[in-house]
Structure 1
Amino acid sequence: MTVMLALVPDAFGGRGGIAQYNRDFLSAAVTAPGIERIEILPRHAPDAFTLPAGLRQAAPGESRIGYVLRALGMSLTAKRGIVFCGHINLVPAAALVARLSRSRLIVQTHGIEAWDDPGKPYRRALEKADLVLCVSRYTRARVLSWAAIAPERVIVLPNTVGPTFTPGDASALRAAWGLAGKRVLLTVSRMDARERYKGHERIIATLPSLPGDVVYVVLGEGNDTDRIKAVARDAGVADRVLFKGAVGRDMLINAYRMADLYVMPSTGEGFGIAFLEAMASGTPALGLAVAGATDALCDGALGTAASEEAFAGTLARLLADGKPDPAGLSAAVTARFGSKTFTACTHSALGRLAQV
């Protein structure tokens, strides 16, 4: 039986899409044949959490040096095991730990941070990996463009969507937010100045050309919020854009359910987990046919991927078409990206370690 040591920026008790992916991957990996347990060392874990059986999570590491020293100490329990690196920023430390513990190394890559050559220390460390996991075909192609690594060691393992995201009645939330009788566009994302590629401005720019009953709800927080609010004011649509900040899981699910269309015209998605969450909740999704979003939208089979030029017209058309059958959309997304499929793919990926 093998012990896995997971070096991650965050996982259980963490926030955001990468933390969610790490939770999903580790929860699936611990059920794989041959895995005895998984020891997790996060950099951050601000929230309370519970752990599935077989997982142990240490207290977060504070400084970089302290984190590496703790990882080296924990590697003694994973000797000749597996080291999982949950973010490319940690790959030099993970490669060192794997070498000293004579363990196999798995590196997870997500989005924009892995698309260009990250520099010699990171590139050389990643090239030592026995297996590199990528959330999308686009990320895989970008990694292979700068890393000297055998293509068969770089595989796609996309995000998954949890079973709590299901269709349902969200009329109470519509009423509470004053949206009865409105058609609602929704975006869920961080509003960080480093992530201006999410496309809030593109959506705001379409509002003046759309009927007056169309409103735009934005969930999330960040240091770019005031600027985006100013964009709405300058466009003369401040009264049609609602900024609701960060919300809890139950309200998030209801927000997905009550929206008529989930919209995120991002140009920098490694995948786009929010597309899956919206569609699993029964709401159609629209993104750009750019980068990893095409994988989440299944090349148009589940959601709609528009060109940048056709985006505004496609948005108007989807609103006019109305919401499709929520149950049918949810079932299709769950079949393709649900927990059962993800667990099977995770087990298959771990099985490849014996072949490399």
Structure 2
Amino acid sequence: MTFLLGLFTQVGGRGGVQAVSVQLARRLAAHAQTSAAQVELLVLNDAPGSLHPVSAALRGFGRDWRKFSLAAFVAGVRASSIWVAHVNLAPLAWLACLLRPRLRYVVVAHGVEVWALRSSMQRAALRRADIVVAVSVYTAGRLVELHRVSAAKIVVIPNVLADGLPPAPAGAADHNLILSVS
């Protein structure tokens, strides 16, 4: 049976990384349901026992790095693939590969956290990843130049919009609006 492991820094809360993490967790949970795969989604910073609307498979560790790392490593050595939602967690997947060299994993590089030099372990984990998802062409370039990740392993997928956009201001439907992103 296929066993998918997702590693997240945070799913609850606000922010770009959290919004991407929510979408990734939902997709992994949905894939598990449609393909009869098993999925485990571990979240470092969310509280234990948090009721997530994303998936019952989410398990929070309340910022307990030691417990989270142990759970990630134990699950990682039996996983079919690991989906790492933040570069800070990539070394956990890399360590699991030491015991299971054919284990495949994907790392999401959100941007600014990979624009500067990372620790040697994080750089090794990025280079060992089967796929690194970069949120922009600029981020992909930094991964290649600074961290020496093979360009062939990098896929650029811009961040998603968060669910539940706020409603338009009153009367906005009566006027032409221009959306500008800078």
TM-score normalised by structure 2 residue count: 0.80
* Residue identity matched to 2:54: L
Matches within 5 A, 1:68-217: 68-78=69-79, 81-102=80-101, 103-161=103-161, 164-165=164-165
Deviation at 1:109, TM superposition (A): 0.3
RMSD of aligned residue pairs (Cα, Å): 2.7
Deviation at 1:126, TM superposition (A): 0.9
Q: Structure 2 vs 1, CA of residues 151 and 57 (structure 1 numbering), >3 Å: closer, same or farther?
A: same
In the other structure, the counterpart of 1:273 is: none
User: 1:49 aligned to 2:48?
Assistant: no
* Percent identity for Structure 1 against Structure 2: 25
* Residue identity matched to 1:90: L
The structure in which a higher percent of residues are helix is: 1
Deviation at 1:5, TM superposition (A): 0.9
Q: Structure 2 vs 1, CA of residues 286 and 68 (structure 1 numbering), >3 Å: closer, same or farther?
A: closer
In the other structure, the counterpart of 2:64 is: 63
In the other structure, the counterpart of 2:18 is: 19
Counterparts of 2:112 and 2:13 in 1: how far apart (Å)? 20
Deviation at 1:59, TM superposition (A): 2.9
Counterparts of 2:2 and 2:78 in 1: how far apart (Å)? 10
Counterparts of 1:89 and 1:76 in 2: how far apart (Å)? 19
Deviation at 1:122, TM superposition (A): 1.1
Deviation at 1:19, TM superposition (A): 1.3
Structure 1 or 2, whichever has the larger Rg, is 1
* Residue identity matched to 2:133: L
Q: Structure 2 vs 1, CA of residues 61 and 283 (structure 1 numbering), >3 Å: closer, same or farther?
A: same
Deviation at 1:163, TM superposition (A): 6.0
Deviation at 1:150, TM superposition (A): 2.2
Deviation at 1:20, TM superposition (A): 1.2
Deviation at 1:97, TM superposition (A): 2.2
Contact kept in structure 2, 1:3 and 1:77, CA below 8 Å: yes
SS of 2:118's equivalent in the other structure is coil
Q: Structure 2 vs 1, CA of residues 123 and 162 (structure 1 numbering), >3 Å: closer, same or farther?
A: closer
Deviation at 1:101, TM superposition (A): 4.2
Deviation at 1:61, TM superposition (A): 5.1
Contact kept in structure 2, 1:6 and 1:84, CA below 8 Å: yes
SS of 1:285's equivalent in the other structure is coil
Counterparts of 1:113 and 1:162 in 2: how far apart (Å)? 20
SS of 1:45's equivalent in the other structure is coil
Deviation at 1:158, TM superposition (A): 1.6
Q: How many equivalent residue pairs? A: 172
Task: Name which structure has the greater RCO, CA cutoff 8 Å, separation 6+.
Answer: 2
SS of 2:37's equivalent in the other structure is strand
